[in-house]
Structure 1
Amino acid sequence: MKTFYFIILLLLSGLNSILAQDVPVNDLIISGNLEEANNKPILFANVALYSSLDSALIGGAVSDEKGNFAIPAEPGKYFLKISYLGLNEKIVPSVVVQDQAVNLGIISLNADAKQLQELLVTGEKSQMDLQLDKRVFNVGKDLSNLGSNASDILNNMPSVTVDVDGNVALRGSGNVRILIDGKQSGMVGMNPAEALRQIPGDLIESIEIITNPSSRYDAEGEVGILNIVMKKNIKYGLNGSFTATAGYPSNFGGSFNVNYRKKKVNLIASYGNIYREGPGKGTSRQVYNGADTSFVYEQVNKRTRGGYSNSFMVGMDYFVNDQNTLTGTLSYRNSQNSNNSRLEYRDFDFNNNLTRTVVRTEKETEPRNNLEAALNYSKTFEKKGQSLEFSAKYIVSDETEAAKFNQSTTEGLANLMQRSYNTEDEKNILFQLDYIYPFGKNGKLETGLKSSIRLLDNDFSVQQQNEEGNWVILPQFDNRLAYDEKIHAGYLMASNQFGKFFMQAGLRGEYSDIQTELKKTSEANHRKYFNLFPSLHLTYKLKDAQTLQLSYSYRLSRPSFRDLLPFSSFSDSRVFRLGNPLLNPEYTHSFEAGHLLNMSKGTLLSSVYYRHRLGVVENITSVDSTGFTTIRPVNLSTGDSYGFEFNLTYDPFEWWKWTANANIFRAINEGVYQDRLLKSDTYSWTSRISSRVTLFKSLDFQLSFNYRAPRKTTQGRELAQYFIDLGLSRDLLKGRATVTAGVRDLFNTRKQRQVVQNAGYYSSSEFQWRARQFLVTFSYRLNRSKDRDREDNDGDGGDEG
């Protein structure tokens, strides 16, 4: 740990020197003026300056109230990328700085897309794009993401953590909303943790982190939204990319993403296949000394989770005319997983003498199917910025978990035979309408409606074989849950610019009608409630290279299906993770202030935030008189979280790129459970540092270091976790192909360690979901080289993902 703290201290010292050195003194100036087609100036547009030699980010600025911008630069060849929320991006190529300032004059952002397609821009997407209301991470440039899945990619995002069970958390909270292409999707439906592992990373274009969403988004998600943007091309002719992956332990897969565009029709198709085996292991020690029972035992757990998954999508864009577009997509995902585990329990007396050994094995099959059909209509009007969009989606999913258990003891007793069935069927119907109307000089009015219906049916039971060899149902683990959710929403939002100020304010109303019923025991719970959710975003330009952002939102987190389900898993016969059908939503007030600094060789985004939560859901561990441990979620407490976060990109040389981020926070939770006060007050932090070096113009080497500091919980503490990833990439076939080799968790240290203490009960555990991995990936681009691919992705007429 001393070595680690020394590394962090060295990094912070280097950061101070970086900031001190990045103040431009004698640099020349690249300037210009941004206008729309109606000659209106464009305020607060992001202007990024890149080197034409290797597309390194050199600097940037934000346009002022007159649309002017100025960027300091040394003599050299550059290109500009100009972006603004609601307008198409613009590339300005061949900017040459010699011995005097360069004035580019008036630049319009609505240039002819056909002209842009003829430009050859040798730049590439930056790994992180900072926009007014979100951070966009282009995951393809991170070598540690190649050959991975969606869960792995999210774990590499700033302030995002994924635990050994696959649960995603943002800024230390698991109440985060996960969307696909900005909408709810069956791909992350009933079991998001497992579903994310089935989505090939090769089909993902970018990840958007929205920490304080505006009113146009669903109010669901306490800490914000993670939006996974899938690849989708609309380039003319036949284009595509193909990727193959091989790794150890077993990790094999392939994918393709192609499109064919001609005149008014664009056909798209993508396919991804994954086969993997994930060996995991863990140990734990449980000690309990209560009035009714006492026990001491250790558990050794070994398991292998694996199987294959297929994801297929076809779609068509039909461009009726310049103002009307109709899009239809159909996607299907099938997976066949098998999970095998071996648990060994070692019982001790209080003198630490071994009294008994129990071995429990499990063999589980887990097939899943997901079918999703979507239809989208979009219309633009003669008035610039005015648009109408309607979308509809139908999702049907089914999943069946069937497991067999065999338990034996050293006492010579007959083996205990058990089996469990858990079927989960889901249907989703969604309708959404959004309308945007511009007014005045820079104003915009947005409104919309949304309705979603979600129907889930979960039938579960556990059976045990008696002495006669007959299977008998265990009544305490036999029921059927029906979950019906209907949510109807509407929103109104307005934005405008006043000099150096940009303001966006909105109000969203949501009516929730949710009913849960345990069919076999006739236990029903019906909730109806209406809430208003305001949001406010303010932006103020301090200087040419600095912007200040303030935001507020009121949000809620409804219990997930897994949290409501009374039955979860029967794998461990002594520790049960159960749901709670009586859970209520959490409500959160979220405040955030951010500062964006564009430097000549990088960017720095700093944020401070505060969240006040009501009805916080906590997992409570308890022990009954039989010695079994139960983990169950309850609405336990109120919570306050304070945090500081920064994201830094810095390129000290054209061949060397750094990214670093950290989230430092304090979390306070306090509540009463069974007449006992439970409280936690913890300081913790997460961080990621990544360095990429380019050698010989075609060989990239990347090293990434991830760290999660220890933290306290209401019943114990979670210990520190860290791991290192390496990647090496080389371009082949004149830029049409790339081969990448990498290793994840180099020192095999990614383990979850936890301690729980509660009224005579003590538990310590360590678990590793997946061991160190070695991967090799080969990618090939059809009908375009790597440079051409960069052009299409950066131009107005390129990627529409």
Structure 2
Amino acid sequence: MKSFSFITLFFFFQYVQVMAQNEGTEDLVISGKLEGANREPVLFANVGLYSAKDSSLVGGAVSDETGKFEIAAKPGNYFLKISYLGLNEKIVPSVVVDNQDVDMGTLSLKPDARELEELVVRGEKSQMELQLDKRVFNVGKDLSNIGSNASDILNNMPSVTVDVDGNVALRGSGNVRILIDGKQSGMVGMNPAEALRQIPGDLIESIEIITNPSSRYDAEGEVGILNIVMKKNIRYGLNGSFTGTAGYPANFGGSFNINYRKKKVNLMASYGNIYRNRPGSGTSRQVYNSADTSFVYEQDNNRNRSGYSNSFMVGMDYFLNSRNTLTGTLSYRNSRNTNKTMLAYRDFDFNNILTRTVVRTETEQEPRNNLEAALNYNKTFERKGQSLAFSAKYILSDETEAAKFNESVKGEAANVVQRSYNTEDEKNILFQLDYIHPFRGDAKLETGLKSSIRLLDNDFSVHQQDQNGDWIILPRFDNRLAYDEKIHAAYLMASNQFGKLFVQAGLRGEYSDILTKLKKTNLTNHRKYFNLFPSLHLSYKLQEAQTLQLSYSYRLSRPGFRDLLPFSNFSDSRVFRAGNPLLNPEYTHSFEAGHLLNMEKGTLLSSIYYRHRLGVVENITSVDSTGFTRITPINLSTGDSYGFEFNLTYDPFAWWKWTANANIFRAVNKGVYQDKVLSSDTYSWTGRVSSKVTLFQDVDFQSSINYRAPRKTTQGRDLAQYSIDLGLSRDILKGRGTVTASVRDLLNTRKQRRIVESAGYYSKSEFQWRARQFLVTFSYRLNRSKEREPRIDEDSGDED
């Protein structure tokens, strides 16, 4: 907390100092008033001040609520350029500033009906944008994303799946790195699955899928990176959006995202609140048969997770001048969940006769807090494309899981009463420096440094009440983990264009210093290693409408925090999920080739890929003679994955849009565990098809279907899963408001079904995390048009 206070004070004093310096400069003022055709004031129009000598932009302003504007200027010769959506651009020549202020009087702007009509048609962002090393999906265009959370949105992305436990996988692999705004965040640090459910989807701008990241990105993430880009806005004046959501089962929330920019200061704030009640249920059947003992039992699982979360961010951009920007943000997220579970075990003999029924209930309180402070400095130079960026971030997170259990046998008076505590405290400190230097033509050199420190402390214990009412610790489930991670990295990357061929090559070096210590059993694992991670991207323009891309990267996946914990949730007394403090990283060689075809009414992006993995981590299920099942991750095998993927957008008519994507792959894994060969060779695929129809110009109807085919694992198989989503939206309030009604999982079929088989053991389970959901959402845009959003020039920071 002292470090956080220091960062906050540093930012405050820097701001005061810069403001004081700025106040010392004396400029003259060019002022005026803007009117429309009917003499009404023109609000929030852009007024640019240009040098008459070389037409360079030297200043600017935006008209206020009365149409007035003021621009600070030094003596000289200038001209004004005034622009506003739907009005003709106006040029005011020969603006001469001598030794006094200049009053331009009233300036009239005329409407341009043709320009407004074209902007309405062409200004809408496409749902998918292709860049050299990533695909960008603008989530607001998908009606099924409105009123949802980050986990739901990710599940709608091509080649991304989210299972009933909230675990995210890309192209069938769970080793994917999740970032927020391109950087590590405490929001998805300790418990990503639950954290993603707490991020309101209304605050998300886009999702970037980076399957072969370049060297500028961390090497973490075997299958790539999912970057969640949060909404930002630096338009002049007061702008924002407000959203409210109501749904059944209980899902209520609201959010806003606003900013106010005037001259050199941009103030921004966002807030999101969610309350949800998520009922879930499932069944399973376990069969165990060995020379020593045999048993069969069935389990009914009924869960209800309810709670709220609040996400709040405030920040400020200060534009020191046209080429230097200082940004500070402070984010806080708080949530509190109440989780209730009832498990009913029915024990049978091998004649299928019920022998006893056991009922186990759980009530868990789960508060979580996350605080982040960030300071960023960005500088652009006179040479186009040259830039310097520095960022620092400090993160504090804490989470507590306190649960009470009661287990009883039908017909017996005695109860087993237990409780568990699991406290997780995390601290992160990050520093990053990036520099881009362009050369003649299209040549460019990028380099950077990064250091991150991550400190975690986890204390876990299970207590059981004896006959006297005293609490006794169960030694088997009592320990404390300290996890200290220090990663230092540097990268160098060069790119250039040779005719139709674009080449980008880079090399990243990372030094890892990771200490894992179980304090109560005095087990220590200290690992230090240095790796080089090359990357290569090639892009060749075959024709005007066709582009070919080739890429390679070498990556690793360090074990996640929960994969290292030797203890976990104690909800199910017969199935225990535990981590492995001795896990080592996975390493991956990834190759990909892609072809982009731009058609008159759509685009088709097709890719083939291959990944070779070493030290693949898999969850292994083992059962002892008492029927106690343990699921533990180990470095089991080597793996090879081959796949074909396509993304299609097709608009047969202006009012009808189709999108479709599919990932068809083969995964081969083979390893040895306890002298037994475990292997799998599976062919599988995932896909999504969506249709969006515009009716009566302001009504949109969307339908989509998601499908996940069966697949084999090293100890069994996962069965097929599918769901259907529908959405209907209409614009109101002259296009500034939108009402959306949607239903997710229309047929209530999104269930995880799994079979696990090993020597003498068989398990079949089915679970549904969340039932069918109905939602109604209202969105309102303040001083913003739905059809067209402004673009910020990255080199100058000016609004286009």
What's the TM-score bracket when you normalise by the shorter of the two chains?
0.7 to 0.9
Aligned equivalent of 1:396: 396
Q: Does the 8 Å contact 2:331/2:373 carry over to 1? A: yes
Is 1:257 the equivalent of 2:253? no
Aligned equivalent of 1:190: 190
Aligned equivalent of 2:248: 248
Residues of 2 paired with 1:747 and 1:434: CA distance?
Answer: 49
- The amino acid of 1:687's aligned partner reads G
Closer, same or farther in 2 for the Cα pair 1:255/1:656, shift >3 Å?
same
Residues of 2 paired with 1:576 and 1:792: CA distance?
Answer: 52
Residues of 1 paired with 2:659 and 2:135: CA distance?
Answer: 14
Aligned equivalent of 1:215: 215
Is 1:559 the equivalent of 2:559? yes
Q: Does the 8 Å contact 1:232/1:799 carry over to 2? A: no
Is 1:131 the equivalent of 2:131? yes
Q: Does the 8 Å contact 2:663/2:685 carry over to 1? A: yes
Q: Does the 8 Å contact 1:792/1:799 carry over to 2? A: no
Aligned equivalent of 1:232: 232
Q: What SS does structure 2 have at the residue aligned with 1:563? A: helix
Report the CA distance between 1:384 and its aligned residue: 1.3
Matches within 5 A, 1:307-706: 307-706=307-706
Q: Does the 8 Å contact 2:322/2:797 carry over to 1? A: no
- The amino acid of 2:299's aligned partner reads Q
1:792 to 765, 775, 790: 790
Residues of 2 paired with 1:276 and 1:212: CA distance?
Answer: 36
Residues of 1 paired with 2:261 and 2:308: CA distance?
Answer: 32
- The amino acid of 2:206's aligned partner reads S
Residues of 2 paired with 1:391 and 1:294: CA distance?
Answer: 60
Report the CA distance between 1:291 and its aligned residue: 2.8
Report the CA distance between 1:785 and its aligned residue: 3.5
Residues of 2 paired with 1:275 and 1:671: CA distance?
Answer: 44
Residues of 2 paired with 1:516 and 1:182: CA distance?
Answer: 27
Residues of 1 paired with 2:263 and 2:619: CA distance?
Answer: 56
**1:286-309 per-position Cα deviation (integer Å, ceiling 9, x unaligned):** 000123322100000000011000
Residues of 2 paired with 1:168 and 1:784: CA distance?
Answer: 34
Residues of 2 paired with 1:785 and 1:378: CA distance?
Answer: 28
Q: Does the 8 Å contact 2:641/2:667 carry over to 1? A: yes
- The amino acid of 2:255's aligned partner reads S
Report the CA distance between 1:773 and its aligned residue: 0.3
Q: Does the 8 Å contact 2:279/2:304 carry over to 1? A: yes
Q: Does the 8 Å contact 1:235/1:798 carry over to 2? A: no
Q: Does the 8 Å contact 2:510/2:532 carry over to 1? A: yes
**1:762-792 per-position Cα deviation (integer Å, ceiling 9, x unaligned):** 00000000000000000001123323xx232
Q: What SS does structure 1 have at the residue aligned with 2:321? A: coil
TM-score, structure 2 normalization: 0.84
**1:614-633 per-position Cα deviation (integer Å, ceiling 9, x unaligned):** 00000000011222000000
- Greater Rg by CA: 2
Q: What SS does structure 1 have at the residue aligned with 2:369? A: strand
Aligned equivalent of 2:155: 155
Residues of 2 paired with 1:781 and 1:749: CA distance?
Answer: 35
Residues of 2 paired with 1:156 and 1:174: CA distance?
Answer: 16
Q: Does the 8 Å contact 2:644/2:665 carry over to 1? A: yes
- The amino acid of 1:143's aligned partner reads L
Report the CA distance between 1:695 and its aligned residue: 0.3
Q: Does the 8 Å contact 1:234/1:798 carry over to 2? A: no
- The amino acid of 1:684's aligned partner reads S
**1:424-451 per-position Cα deviation (integer Å, ceiling 9, x unaligned):** 0000000000000011211000000000
Q: What SS does structure 2 have at the residue aligned with 1:562? A: helix
Unaligned runs of 5+ in 2: 1-82, 87-108
Unaligned runs of 5+ in 1: 1-90, 95-114
Q: Which moved more, 1:406-415 or 1:721-730?
A: 406-415
Aligned equivalent of 2:299: 299
Q: What SS does structure 1 have at the residue aligned with 2:193? A: helix
Report the CA distance between 1:553 and its aligned residue: 0.1
Residues of 2 paired with 1:530 and 1:625: CA distance?
Answer: 43
Matches within 5 A, 1:715-734: 715-734=715-734
Residues of 2 paired with 1:791 and 1:330: CA distance?
Answer: 26
Q: What SS does structure 2 have at the residue aligned with 1:320? A: strand
Closer, same or farther in 2 for the Cα pair 1:194/1:724, shift >3 Å?
same
- The amino acid of 1:740's aligned partner reads T
TM-score, structure 1 normalization: 0.84
Residues of 2 paired with 1:392 and 1:767: CA distance?
Answer: 42
Residues of 1 paired with 2:551 and 2:786: CA distance?
Answer: 39
Aligned equivalent of 1:765: 765
Residues of 1 paired with 2:411 and 2:574: CA distance?
Answer: 18
Residues of 1 paired with 2:768 and 2:334: CA distance?
Answer: 27
Runs of 4 or more above 4 Å deviation: 793-800
Q: Does the 8 Å contact 1:589/1:612 carry over to 2? A: yes
Residues of 2 paired with 1:701 and 1:415: CA distance?
Answer: 54
Q: What SS does structure 1 have at the residue aligned with 2:562? A: helix
Report the CA distance between 1:799 and its aligned residue: 11
Residues of 2 paired with 1:348 and 1:794: CA distance?
Answer: 67
Residues of 2 paired with 1:530 and 1:314: CA distance?
Answer: 38
Q: What SS does structure 1 have at the residue aligned with 2:734? A: helix
Q: Does the 8 Å contact 1:186/1:372 carry over to 2? A: yes
Report the CA distance between 1:452 and its aligned residue: 0.1
Q: What SS does structure 2 have at the residue aligned with 1:786? A: coil
Report the CA distance between 1:724 and its aligned residue: 0.2
Let me know the Cα RMSD of the aligned residues. 1.7
Residues of 2 paired with 1:486 and 1:293: CA distance?
Answer: 48
- The amino acid of 2:352's aligned partner reads N
Closer, same or farther in 2 for the Cα pair 1:144/1:794, shift >3 Å?
farther
Identical positions, percent:
84
Report the CA distance between 1:371 and its aligned residue: 0.2
- The amino acid of 2:660's aligned partner reads A
- The amino acid of 2:772's aligned partner reads R
Residues of 1 paired with 2:734 and 2:132: CA distance?
Answer: 37
Q: Does the 8 Å contact 2:655/2:694 carry over to 1? A: yes
Report the CA distance between 1:131 and its aligned residue: 1.4
Q: Aligned residues, how many?
A: 686
Report the CA distance between 1:798 and its aligned residue: 9.8
Residues of 2 paired with 1:400 and 1:572: CA distance?
Answer: 19
Aligned equivalent of 1:37: none
Residues of 2 paired with 1:514 and 1:183: CA distance?
Answer: 20
**1:346-369 per-position Cα deviation (integer Å, ceiling 9, x unaligned):** 000000000000000000000000
Q: What SS does structure 1 have at the residue aligned with 2:383? A: coil
Closer, same or farther in 2 for the Cα pair 1:326/1:297, shift >3 Å?
same
Q: What SS does structure 2 have at the residue aligned with 1:735? A: coil
Residues of 2 paired with 1:241 and 1:668: CA distance?
Answer: 47
Residues of 2 paired with 1:795 and 1:405: CA distance?
Answer: 57
**1:708-749 per-position Cα deviation (integer Å, ceiling 9, x unaligned):** 000000000000000000000000010010000000000000
Q: Does the 8 Å contact 1:405/1:417 carry over to 2? A: yes
Report the CA distance between 1:499 and its aligned residue: 1.1
- The amino acid of 1:397's aligned partner reads S
Q: Does the 8 Å contact 2:379/2:388 carry over to 1? A: yes
**1:469-504 per-position Cα deviation (integer Å, ceiling 9, x unaligned):** 111000110110000000000000000011111000
- The amino acid of 2:532's aligned partner reads L
- The amino acid of 2:656's aligned partner reads W
Q: Does the 8 Å contact 2:322/2:798 carry over to 1? A: no
**1:257-281 per-position Cα deviation (integer Å, ceiling 9, x unaligned):** 0000000000000000000010000
Q: Does the 8 Å contact 2:387/2:435 carry over to 1? A: yes
Q: Does the 8 Å contact 1:408/1:414 carry over to 2? A: yes
**1:532-571 per-position Cα deviation (integer Å, ceiling 9, x unaligned):** 0000000111111000000000000000001000111100
Residues of 2 paired with 1:293 and 1:372: CA distance?
Answer: 53
Q: Does the 8 Å contact 1:792/1:798 carry over to 2? A: no
Aligned equivalent of 1:99: none
Aligned equivalent of 1:280: 280
